[in-house]
């Protein structure tokens, strides 16, 4: 199939009206929720789960920076963790010491990633996990730990341990919003939801703004459900593969990425098809749309690639291109930048001429806050897509001033 002339991409899907209504969660044009899904108060957790949050001084200004989330009874679970070779202490503790299929609780802090902190960082992560386990009456290997924030700075442990003890007595089934706020770093708004369909409830909380690029997971994300799920690891892999694995903000893989899915089975019903996928895709899009300084989101689809790896590589090259991202910000339909990025990803390969007939970039310069881009390589039958955001002045400012 190599060398076949590129066909013009199909027109992009008709855009839904742009919406940032806080009372509507499943709002993106790219999210397809099941019929009859009901959006609940986003602060509510799925039945049988509770959370709490408080301030321990990591972020300063009295802002909440510590969260605890727990199931009332034993649950099944699945967890995905970053592939970054310099994985943070909490990731290493979860990977090596947690019972991944039966995690009942998680303790999370923001403001300090506890990454690149050596053996002391591992001891601190274990101490936090053990304090949470003690307060909840659980074995330590049933408690996950996640941390996010500045890399390379040792924790101030004692305020965290005192905070964990305090939160252990404050758990509430309606504290999802406080928990979501506690895990934020450069996020401009908390990311959370509670939805119900066919007698099953799914609640979720996530954070992410910068240092977003998939490994196995992206950012921090916690999902709870009362559904019965036969294979939680497969369910999480599948849902993450079409959502959190499909996004990039700046092409940087975090040292701390963690996704935790917990299922109690109390509803006595299976997950409705598409419900978990819809929730996690909307959360992923929330993370991209809140990319540091972001104002727009785009989806790039690469078609007619020689194989799946090629399609993925070209899509990511376009999505991570500073030139394409600034064109998205400026609403400039500069399809030449897309051709350049695709060609760079395929350097040395025979490629049909990528002209205007092979690239649909009209929405790059459109009015919608969600733009669709399509590229036809004319080399085969495989395809891939990636969601990304624009790049503007605020990204530089935020990251230039991050620790100063």
Q: CA–CA separation, 337 vs 296, rounded Å?
A: 17
The per-residue DSSP string of 138-165 comes to: --GGGEEEEEEEESS----HHHHHHHHH
Question: 82 catalytic, yes or no?
Answer: no
CB atoms within 10 A of CB 215: 16
- At 399 the three-state DSSP class reads helix
Is residue 371 within 8 Å of residue 298, measured between CB atoms? Answer: yes
Is residue 66 within 8 Å of residue 109, measured between CB atoms? Answer: yes
Element (H, E) at 205: strand 200-207
Going by C-beta distance under 8 Å and a sequence separation of 6 or more, which residues neighbour residue 239? Answer: 276, 277, 279, 280
Is residue 386 within 8 Å of residue 324, measured between CB atoms? Answer: no
- At 62 the three-state DSSP class reads coil
Q: Which candidate in 117, 201, 218, 255 is catalytic?
A: 218
* Residue 101 phi, psi dihedral angles, 5° rounding: -95, 5
Which positions are annotated as active-site residues?
218
């Amino acid at each position: 199939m190599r060398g076949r002339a590129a066909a013009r991409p199909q027109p992009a899907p008709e855009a839904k009206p742009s919406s940032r209504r806080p009372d509507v969660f499943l709002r993106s044009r790219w999210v397809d929720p099941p019929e009859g899904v009901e959006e609940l108060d986003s602060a509510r957790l799925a039945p049988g789960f509770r959370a709490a949050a408080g301030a321990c001084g990591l972020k300063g200004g009295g802002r909440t920076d510590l969260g605890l989330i727990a199931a009332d009874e034993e649950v099944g679970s699945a967890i995905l963790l970053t592939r970054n070779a310099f994985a943070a202490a909490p990731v290493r503790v979860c990977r090596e010491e947690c019972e991944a299929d039966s995690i009942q609780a998680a303790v999370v802090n923001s403001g300090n990633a506890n990454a690149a902190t050596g053996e002391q960082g591992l001891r601190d992560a274990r101490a936090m996990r053990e304090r949470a386990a003690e307060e909840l009456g659980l074995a330590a290997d049933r408690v996950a730990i996640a941390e996010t924030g500045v890399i390379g700075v040792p924790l101030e442990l004692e305020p965290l341990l005192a905070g964990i003890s305090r939160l252990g007595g404050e758990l509430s089934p309606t504290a999802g919003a406080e928990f979501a706020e506690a895990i934020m770093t450069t996020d401009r708004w908390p990311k959370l939801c509670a939805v119900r369909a066919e007698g099953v409830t799914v609640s979720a909380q996530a954070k992410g703004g910068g240092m977003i690029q998939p490994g196995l997971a992206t950012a921090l994300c916690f999902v709870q459900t009362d559904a019965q799920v036969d294979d939680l690891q497969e369910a999480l892999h599948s849902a993450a593969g079409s959502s959190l694995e499909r996004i990039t903000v700046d092409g940087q893989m975090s040292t701390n990425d963690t996704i935790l899915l917990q299922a109690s089975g109390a509803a006595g019903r299976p997950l409705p098809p598409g419900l978990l996928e819809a929730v996690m895709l909307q959360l992923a899009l929330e993370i991209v749309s809140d990319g540091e300084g972001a104002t727009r989101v785009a989806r790039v689809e690469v078609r007619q690639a020689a194989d799946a790896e090629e399609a993925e590589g070209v899509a990511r090259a376009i999505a991570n291109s500073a030139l394409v991202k600034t064109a998205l910000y400026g609403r400039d339909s500069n399809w030449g930048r897309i051709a350049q990025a695709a060609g760079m990803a395929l350097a040395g390969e025979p490629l049909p001429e990528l002209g205007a007939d092979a690239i649909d970039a009209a929405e790059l310069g459109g009015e919608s806050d969600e733009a669709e881009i399509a590229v036809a390589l004319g080399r085969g039958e495989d395809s891939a897509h990636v969601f990304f955001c624009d790049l503007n002045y605020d990204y530089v400012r935020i990251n230039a001033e991050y620790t100063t």
